[in-house]
Structure 1
Amino acid sequence: MNFKIASFLIAALLMIAVPTVAQETKVAPARAQFEEIFSKWKDNLKKLRDLNEKHTKVADDADVPEIRKEFKAIYDETEAMIPELRNRALSAYLESPNTDRDLTRMLISMASDALSRDMYSTAKPISDALMSNGCDEKALYDIAGTIAYSTDDFTAAEELLKEADDRGVLNLGKDVYPTVSEMKELWAKELEIREAEAKADDLPRVKLATTKGDIVLELFENEAPDTVGNFVSLIERGFYDGLTFHRVLPGFMAQGGDPQGDGTGGPGYNIYCECYEDNYRRHFSGTLSMAKSEPRDTGGSQFFITFKATPHLNGKHTAFGRVIEGMDVLERLQRIDPDTADGTVEPDKIEKAEVIRKREHEYVPNKAR
């Protein structure tokens, strides 16, 4: 356990305002359940703080391993409590919205923390609950707007980020705010395409069984037939089995499909880009796209899956599928940057890739010449 990092985390957690219970003869049920787990959580934080202080003052290095062992055990237990703590805090808030400012601010902090970890499916129910119940903490508009953008809710994102800008608190969403109007229009068109696809119900699907769970992808064969043909062909020959997600960047995407594991490998050939066609698909959350170098037609086997909309990639990389199951798996993939990795972080792997369904024709790569 890195005590320097842990110390910072403890300090950050302890800065969260501690919700207090109003003096009542009877505590509301949801509030009582929240107080129960919150009390245990605070006790653990105090233990961690005490152990951290003990570590800084230890006289005998022989005592360090035992302190670290105890610290890690309590730290892991405390981390494991957070989902339940979050759920109970939200239930307590919904039981009596906006009556305890400390609890409200704690939930805002939780939403912001989940956003920073790309845990959008966790963050959105919190921000939605706060906004729908009239929470007017000005910092929430920036956080909620950024969460909405990250989950393809561009209509809400536009309204919330404008409010954040008007109130002078636009921060987290400042980079995406200029693109939100365009993405709202593109999303409306994307939904029309998806509706037609659902009606036809014949697109190929594949499953990536990873070390963090299964990801099911539907492939855009109508717009990117060559890219899909190559991808399905590689899966059927077992090419991706055992390969890592060697590049997983926070707030961006997870990249895999490189047999070298460092971003330099491929299948031994390149395929044609299909992102220059008039009907190319755009990049939203959970989009499957081809990785390539700067020149066109340099993709091969490497792909990436976006965590959120990435409009700067539209028309530059071939979007050829989307996640239909397993967005939560993306949240859990080990973040790693091969440019700065020191070998201490173990990347997640594709244990097995398999084709779930496909159309009745042969799938082969159309190699670039």
Structure 2
Amino acid sequence: MSTVCMSAEQPNGSELSRADFHSGVVAAALSVAGSTVLAPGEAQAASGRGPSNTGSGSRVNKDPQSLLRQGLPINCKPVFDLQEAIDSVKYDTYRKDWSRALNDCKQAGGIVSKKRKDLLAAVRPTEKAKGEQLLQTILDKLTPLEAILKSKEGTGTVAERIKLDDAYAAQEEVADAVGSLQELMVPADYVKELEANIPSEFDKLPRLLGRATVEFVLEKPTKGDKFDVEGTLYDQAKLVMVIDGYNAPITAGCFLDLVQKGFYKGLAITRSDGFVVQTGDPDPEGTKHGYEDRIVPLEIFVSGDKYPMYSLTTEDDSRGYASTILPFQAYGALGMARTEFEADSASSQFFWLLFESDLTPAGKNLLDGRYTEFGYTVKNAELLKDVKEGDIIVSTKVLQGAENFKKSK
């Protein structure tokens, strides 16, 4: 049995369970009681990034694509206002609040029209033409979305179901265009500064200076067995994940390196308990639980900071209250496993978090600030519901972003 902190057994013999994770709600509330702290939203604003990734009230942002867009290292309030309006379309569509969703859509169009100059000013000089095209694409795609939202369908009818599907699809197209626009706003020299901030003792480690998309395909160990997700059967679980080197360049780089080497192919799932799904242990019954002698440092990117910090939890850094740029608040969020009492002890094992917003309010758990969050599952995360111990990773590949990978400094 592995001794990583996110394995079934801790080094001290205790289990980090779902109950422990949720108990962080009380622990976090008690730890900040009576003190003056920087609110998550204020911290996010101070960094020049998007609105706070933590939820307020009953609304929690658990959309991985939205969280990734908010986590980009850019400073342009109009584009984040635009994103918030488009995200609200999805939220209000889910609630079937059609009038509010329509207002959100119109607000988005108004931002593009009125703030066009400011939006273009934030785009890198070499990408102005693409920026112009994307702004027009956003306006063009808002038109059919608005038409869908305006249509009148009876509540509970098949036509309303079709309207919901069409609205989600149209909203996703607009959101993708907004995301592409935001990526053009990342400063040209940011990745150089990001790499320069990495401590020299990690110079020999791989790094990802940007983002990459990977696909893992899992199968049941017994031929013919299928994944059963709420009555729908699947031969394979095809998981598409965005790996974020802006948030954790060394972790993301080491992970991508192992994907490219084929390290994860053939490995089994070693933990699946309704809290996390974990893999990456090449010898679960032996003594070698990571990749060769590689040690991956802890990387935590706190809201309000310009770059990630290394080898410290937020609690170690006397900022236990602080929110993080990419929080553990989406189903299928990716985290690196490590030993409990050593910050720099990760290697190859990682986990998918099975986040439940009703049980774990955003920003109030025991993972944010303690474990490296390095990406999200952006397609088919729901298939993780029936991924069990013993299931096998049959293939892994990099879909895009390999050009952002470096073997070392």
With normalisation by structure 1, the TM-score equals 0.44
The structure with more radius of gyration: 1
With normalisation by structure 2, the TM-score equals 0.40
Which structure dedicates a bigger proportion of its chain to helix? 1
Structure with the larger RCO, 1 or 2 (CA within 8 Å, 6+ apart): 2
